[in-house]
Amino acid sequence: MKSTTCALKEWNVAVNALECGKTILLLRKGGIREQAGQFNVSDKQVLLYPTFEHQQPDLLKPDFASQVKIVESGWHPENIRIASWAEITDVFLVAWEPAIKALFPYHIWNEKFVGDRLKWKQNQPIYILLLRAYRLAETAEIPYISEYGGCRSWIDLASPISLEGSEAVLSDGEYIARSHEIRNLMANPPNADGLQKITTLTV
């Protein structure tokens, strides 16, 4: 894929963490305006679209909470900075609490966030996404339009952004090692009784 308009909306602090190689993992359950009220993944290669409005420091680990500046409801920059894209290499549906809690060292959120995700829509599993991030050869500054707003995960940008010349944040070896650790932890979380099936989705 040489260019794309498909973008995944995520907190700015999470996008920064992906761009810096501090995480390769996102936890999602969907936004209010998701199709059928559920999160889903239809594209494997997505631009990372940073959002600011709903960032909450009290749901982040201290190192990441300190990076967040709270803004008023509805606030957004006049121009959105798109500096990276990601290949979604793995998607897991997980409802088994030990498996989700075992991933704590691998993401940016704190225990309150994880607990809230588990309690919200308890009949729905949590989506675990593993993303290999790439820095764009040239950062794009795109004007904000109303179609980009709302509590949803996926948007189509008005114009495509080139992926040519992008550089991977992590080397092949680093990404393979981290993703392997995460898969093993989900399958065999410490101090867990019994086995629970984890669904793997094909993107």
Q: Mean pLDDT across the stretch 17-25? A: 98
Instruction: Catalogue all structural domains in the chain, each as residue range(s) with its CATH number.
Output: 3-201 (2.30.130.30)
DSSP letter at 73?
Answer: T
CA distance 110 to 96: 18
Burial of 127-145, coded b for 16+ CB within 10 Å and e otherwise, reads bbbbbbbbbbeeebebeee
* pLDDT value of position 81: 97
Largest CA distance in the chain: 51
Stated pTM of the model: 0.89
Confidence of residue 148 (pLDDT cuts 50, 70, 90): very high
> CA nearest 55: which of 66, 41, 46?
66
Higher per-residue pLDDT: 105 or 34: 105
* pLDDT for 72 beyond 80: yes
Q: Are 46 and 8 in contact (CB under 8 A)?
A: yes
Instruction: Using alpha carbons, list the distances in angstroms from residue 150 to 42, 52, 72.
Output: 19, 12, 14
The token duo for 174 is 């680093």
* pLDDT for 138 beyond 90: yes
Q: What is the pLDDT of residues 164-188, one digit of tens each?
A: 999 999 999 999 999 999 999 888 8
Compute how many other C-beta atoms are within 10 angstroms of the C-beta atom of residue 15. Answer: 23
Q: Mean pLDDT across the stretch 121-129? A: 81
Confidence of residue 86 (pLDDT cuts 50, 70, 90): very high
